[in-house]
Amino acid sequence: MNKEDYRDKIEEHRQSFEDEQKEQSLSRVSRMNKNGNKNKKPKNSKRKTPLMTILFVIFILIPLTILIYFWKFYEPGKTIEQAEKDTAEQVVELDPSEASASNQDKKDQDGQADKKAQEQSQKDADKLAAEQKAAEEAKKAQEAKKAEEAKKAEAAEKAEAAKRAEEARIAQQQAEAARRAEEAKKAEEAKQNAKASTHTVKANENLYRIALNHYGDGSEATLAKIRAANGMSSNTVMVGQVIKLP
């Protein structure tokens, strides 16, 4: 039974009490009329509430109601709204089967609400766990990507260093080969110069033939150069004579 039903019951009892009082008053009036009491004026045919009823309500019914309220429902520190709510919840049910059904419905509703709350809590927990797992996997993937990039960068750096080292080695080898070739060339030229710096005149040789053999050119200019190097005034040479070849 809810709060409105409780108020309706109270109003019913109050109305029935008032009707009963009215009936008693009317019966008294009827009895007085039968006994020949004609002192009252016609206008005052309706009697007011008897004094005993007023005294009963003031001194018995109202204090008793207050006493019952304080005994059953009043708790210090509660507001009027809370007291009314507790009163509505604690009203004695007239129909036990209805009270049992109401309590069962309330239990079922509470059970369904608890079940829904548990399901929602489980869903939230699963969602949070999935989000945490996704975040961890994303973090691991990011770390793996960074590690792979660092590994690639390190490999590229090593490859670049190896390339530079190989280029330096090749350049060094080429420089060494060039230096050796230059030294060999200089040695060959020195050897050739040493070889060609002097010539011993053999039989049947003349200055023209010597110039032609050593220079490939028997012109007068070449002959003049040989004569000048040896202080000769003519092209005449003798067997066994050593001449300089500039």
Please compute, for residue 82, the number of CA atoms within 13 A of its CA located in the half-sphere on the CB side: 6
Contact 185, 213 (CB under 8 A): no
The whole-model pTM stands at: 0.29
| Number of other CB atoms surrounding residue 222 within 10 Å | 20
Boundaries of every domain in the chain: 1-33+46-90, 190-244
Look at residues 210, 215, 214, 213 and name the one whose alpha carbon lies nearest to residue 235. 210
> How far is residue 151's CA from residue 33's CA, in Å, rounded to a whole number?
121
Contact 49, 21 (CB under 8 A): yes
pLDDT class of 21 with cuts at 50, 70, 90? confident
Which residues neighbour 167 within 8 Å (Cβ) at sequence distance 6 or greater?
none
| Number of other CB atoms surrounding residue 206 within 10 Å | 14
Contact 157, 175 (CB under 8 A): no
Contact 53, 21 (CB under 8 A): yes
> How far is residue 12's CA from residue 18's CA, in Å, rounded to a whole number?
10
Written as six digits, the tokens of 225 are 């150069």
Domain 190-244 falls in which CATH fold? Membrane-bound Lytic Murein Transglycosylase D; Chain A (3.10.350)
Look at residues 53, 79, 57, 77 and name the one whose alpha carbon lies nearest to residue 66. 57
Contact 201, 213 (CB under 8 A): no
Instruction: Look up tokens 């708790």; give the residue.
Output: 75
pLDDT at 83 over 50: yes
Of residues 143 and 102, more confidence is placed in: 143
Tens-place pLDDT, residues 134-189: 999 999 999 999 999 999 999 999 999 999 999 999 999 999 999 999 888 888 77
Length of the chain: 246
Task: Give the mean pLDDT of 114-124.
Answer: 87
Q: Angle 40-41-44 (CA atoms, 0-180°, nearest 5)?
A: 90
Mean pLDDT of the chain: 77
Its sign, for the CA torsion 157, 162, 165, 166, is: negative
**Among 3-7, 26-30, 40-44, the least confident range:** 40-44
Give the per-residue pLDDT at 93.
Answer: 44
